[in-house]
Amino acid sequence: MVMSADDNFSAPALPPMPVSITANDLDRQIETLMRCECIPEQEVKALCAKAREILLQEGNVQVVDSPVTICGDIHGQFYDLMELFKVGGEVPDTNYLFLGDFVDRGFYSVETFLLLLALKVRYPDRMMLIRGNHESRQITQVYGFYDECLRKYGSSSVWRCCTEVFDCLSLSAVIAGKVFCVHGGLSPSIQTLDQIRTIDRKQEAFCQTNGVDLICRAHQLVMEGYKWHFGETVLTVWSAPNYCYRCGNVAAILELDEQLNKDFTIFEAAPQVFVNGNFVGGCDIMVQMHQEGEITDFFKKEGIKSRFSDSQQ
C-alpha cells in the first residue's frame, strides 16, 4: 500500500451544498452496481454528496419504526449481500437496518458500499445505515478499502469521498423505543441515549435506564449467524457468511414485525468461483458471462489463465 503524506489526514469537510440527483439516475446506478460494476467517479462524488446531505438530517440515534430487518457486518462480500437480499427481500419492499462494517476484507467493498449508499439515497426511509469501526480513515487504510479504491479508480479521490460519508453516518438506532442497535456495543462512559445524541459523530445499567428490552449489535463473528448474551438482553447478528471466504460460518438477519416479534433467517454463502486461486465472482454471474460469450475476455482482462468449458454450465 502506497500513501502520500496527506492521505493520513483530512481537513474538516465543508457543509454539504444541496445536490440534485434524479430518481432515474439512482435507478441506473443501482442497476449497474447490482451487476457488481463500478459507476463513474463523477457519479460517485455526486452520490456521496447527496448521501451526506441526507445523513446529516438524521440524528446520532436514529428512530426506526417496525417492521424492519436487522443486518450485521457485510465486509465487502458483495455476492453474499445479493444472497441477503434474496432471503430478506428487495428494497424498497423490505425495510433494512445495517449495523456497519460495510467495507474491508472482502473483494468488493467499493461496489458493496456504493450500492448500499445508492439504495439509501433512493429510499431514505427504507434503508438505514449506522457506522461500524471499519467506517474509518485509519482502519480502511490497513484492511483493504483504500487499496481497492486505488485499484479500481486510479486515485484516492473516491476513497476520500466515501470517508466523508463515514463521518456523517449515525452511531446507533432505536426500534420502536424498545430495541437499541449499535455496531459494537456500549461504552463504559455512556449510560443514556441522550449522551449518544450529544456526541460529535465526526470524531471517532443501560437497558433499564433507557427503557429498552434488547441491545442488538454486530461486530463479532458468530459461527451460527446470531448469538444471545446475558440471557436474552444482548444479541449479536452476523451477516457475512463464510467470512473472508474461509471461515465456514453461516450468516443471519433478524426481522422484527410491528409487535417486535423476532424472526431469524439463516443463509449460507453465495456459490462463488475461484480460478487458479483467484476469486472471480459468483457462479450465477460467471455462467451468464459464459453463455453470453464474455468469459474469455474477462479472464484475459484479469490476467487469469483458465478453461471454462460447456461442462461448467
**How many structural domains are present in the chain?**
2
In this structure, are 304 and 240 located in the same domain? no
pLDDT at residue 258 is higher than 90: yes
Residue 267 grid coordinates = 443463509
Look at residue 190 in the predicted model and tell me its pLDDT: 77
Let me know whether 235 and 284 are in one domain.
no
Residue 69 lies in a domain: yes
pTM here is: 0.79
41 in the same domain as 159: yes
Residues 163 and 306 in one domain: no
Which pLDDT score, from 0 to 100, does residue 309 have?
36
The residue from 75, 134, 183, 219 that is catalytic is 134
Say whether 229 is catalytic.
no
Do 217 and 254 lie in one domain? The reply is yes
Same domain, 168 and 66: yes
Tens-place pLDDT, residues 131-163: 999 999 999 999 999 999 999 999 999 999 999
Domain assignment present for residue 19? The answer is no
CATH number at residue 149: 3.60.21.10
* Residue 125 sits in the same domain as residue 227: yes
Distance from C-alpha of 247 to C-alpha of 253, rounded to nearest angstrom:
18
Q: State the average pLDDT over residues 221-228.
A: 96
Same domain for 229 and 282, yes or no, is no
pLDDT recorded at residue 9: 47
175 and 158 assigned to the same domain: yes
- Compare 304 and 222 and report the one with higher pLDDT: 222
**What's the pLDDT at 181?**
97
